[in-house]
Structure 1
Amino acid sequence: MAEINPSAEDIRGMLTEALGRLRKAHTEYFDLLERGLSSSPLPMADQAKQFCSFMQRNVNATFDLGDKLVQAKDAQDALKLQTEFFQGQIQALTDQARSAGESAMKAATGMFGQKN
């Protein structure tokens, strides 16, 4: 029979197990998505692959935060982890926006560049 009042370690173990299952499902989903994009004849497939890579990075960062939060000692530790995560995500978003903008400019230049 299930324990009515699980200990903090039991809860951490359950959360760690759940995060592991979610990571596995995430990996399988993105593998499937990447295979689909690789076989796509659409001209925007490269940009879609880049966007998919951004999504993967962001989801992995979120899973990493979950792993760290499961091990947090107290609320102050959890708040520190969340603050660091948020700062990292802002930086990643900035980098991703820059990269996507550069990619879009290259694609636009290729589509509307001079023709001889």
Structure 2
Amino acid sequence: MAEVNPSAENMRTMLSEALGRLRKANADYFELLEKGLSASPLPIANQARELCSFMQRNVTATFDLGDKLIQAKDVPEALKLQGEFFQEQMRALTDQARTVGESAMKAAGGMFGPKS
């Protein structure tokens, strides 16, 4: 049986490797989702692709935080990283909500506008 060495550097290495595998699985998932949406005849496929793009950016930001936390030297640094992440995510979510709202308003306006 393999010997377990729980040193901080070994833990960082193992966590980094696991995070790399998760990133790969995530990329594969979003690639598959994008292919499905591209082939979709549904009229809301463009909006779905936009939401998918937002999800992908948010998940990538979370993975980036994971990378930073793995390298954090102490608890105060980890808390600082989490605080920065939270603030940036709130800004991103606000922008995304505004974009989705504008898109919904355009779509609603097209439904009730004059037909040509």
Same fold per TM (> 0.5)?
yes
Alpha-carbon distance in 1 for matches of 2:34, 2:4: 43
Q: Give me the identity figure in percent.
A: 74
1:63-102 matched pairs, under 5 angstroms = 63-102=63-102
1:1-116 matched pairs, under 5 angstroms = 1-116=1-116
Structure 2 spans left out of the alignment, 5+ residues: none
| RMSD (CA atoms) | 1.0
Aligned with 1:19: secondary structure? helix
Shift of the alpha carbon at 1:5? Answer: 4.1
For these two proteins, the number of residue pairs brought into alignment is 116
Aligned with 2:49: secondary structure? helix
Please report the TM-score for the alignment, with normalisation by the length of structure 2.
0.96
Alpha-carbon distance in 2 for matches of 1:95, 1:6: 42
Shift of the alpha carbon at 1:115? Answer: 2.5
Structure 1 spans left out of the alignment, 5+ residues: none
Alpha-carbon distance in 2 for matches of 1:35, 1:98: 26
The residue type equivalent to 1:76 in the other structure is P
Please report the TM-score for the alignment, with normalisation by the length of structure 1.
0.96
Alpha-carbon distance in 2 for matches of 1:13, 1:2: 16
